[in-house]
Structure 1
């Protein structure tokens, strides 16, 4: 791959710039008046159908494919690990957000997946869910909490993570088969990203 200029990407693939961000300690708490009602979070555990439905509802508009490509056995292995916590944010009896934390690397926590269904974005829920993520991550003895996002994700993702206390530390380019062509996602997912091969 060229380190200066353009690098062609096959029409069967997509490419994204990935930004890695981290925090070494939790940011100071925000004071609010009055204190809002606690978020209703529920463990998803081994409920693969629930996890996959929520993951798709949040991620298909942004071409999330990582978990979509996994077999049920592979996904169950991750979600059953005691060092992985997948939680659904529930409102009015339905799942509207996903918070997945991963402590499998010694001394650190990864914010593996984080998001809200499209109709729940922009109303303060993401900030509150991130506060819960930070508190849960640092409830264990870790030296850093990290996340990565990419240019296929919501355009405000990096700014949101920075406002939440994360600092960017690395970038990479990811090139992968287009998940809409492999059958991992519906062909009409992420309509803002054109399909180049039919």
Structure 2
């Protein structure tokens, strides 16, 4: 994550109508958690990870929005088909769907190895209805087992204040350490046809 410019000053700062502002927290892990590679019984986990090597942009957007709509995930949505295919088709980007026993996708995991020696957990989440069942812990263990591939010395991710408020505490409990904080301002995706206007009602929409 690269952010240019000087830190903003203390106090209140105006945000233009139609824009959103959030605080982004970046977290990193510099050593694998103890016992990460140890084989442990998973019990009756009702989901599995499926690698999406030939995922189409349309299929990707559908799952991305199913997982991200409650939190207004937006960064991949303005990309056209060619731009999105270039990202998710890169062999250094490992894309997985979390699939239930009926073969329905209920979550997403995206590991980005495009920076040498690093893995970014770029997207990690479950659809509404699949959370709160312990699947997030299972998915993070799977993510870390794959992220800590040979030659990797840093695994990192980020979350923000429009995301699930349980996210940052969850990541810290898994061993991630916050290392930076940023303010991001962007156009409200509900006002540019990326999501319906009734999405994420907990985030006020100001025209």
- Above 0.5 in TM-score? yes
Aligned pair partner of 2:23 in 9, 17, 20: 17
- How does 1:1-198 map onto structure 2 within 5 Å? 2-29=8-35, 34-37=41-44, 40-45=48-53, 46-92=55-101, 93-197=103-207
Is the Cα contact below 8 Å between 1:68 and 1:185 reproduced in 2?
no
Say whether the 8 Å CA contact 1:44–1:50 is kept in structure 2: no
Q: Using the TM superposition, give the Cα deviation of residue 164 of structure 1 relative to its aligned residue in structure 2, in angstroms.
A: 1.1
TM-score by length of 2: 0.89
Cα distance in 2 for partners of 1:52, 1:88 equals 12
- Unaligned regions of 5+ residues in structure 1, if any? none
Distance 1:138 1:32 in 2: 15
Aligned length: 197
1:132-189 Cα shifts (integer Å, max 9, x gaps) = 0000011231110000100000000100100111100000000001111112222222
DSSP-derived class of the 2:129 partner: helix
Looking at structure 2, the residues matched to 49 and 37 of structure 1 have their Cα atoms a distance apart, in angstroms, of 32
Q: For 2:173 and 2:14, how far apart are their aligned partners in 1?
A: 34
Deviation at 1:37, TM superposition (A): 4.9
Aligned-pair CA distance for 1:32: 9.5
Q: CA deviation at 1:34?
A: 5.0
For residues 33 and 25 of structure 1, the distance between their equivalents in structure 2, rounded to whole angstroms, comes to 20
TM-score (norm 1): 0.93
Range that drifts further, 31-40 or 129-138: 31-40
Inter-partner Cα distance in structure 1 for 2:40 and 2:24: 37
1:35 CA drift (Å): 3.7
Deviation at 1:44, TM superposition (A): 2.0
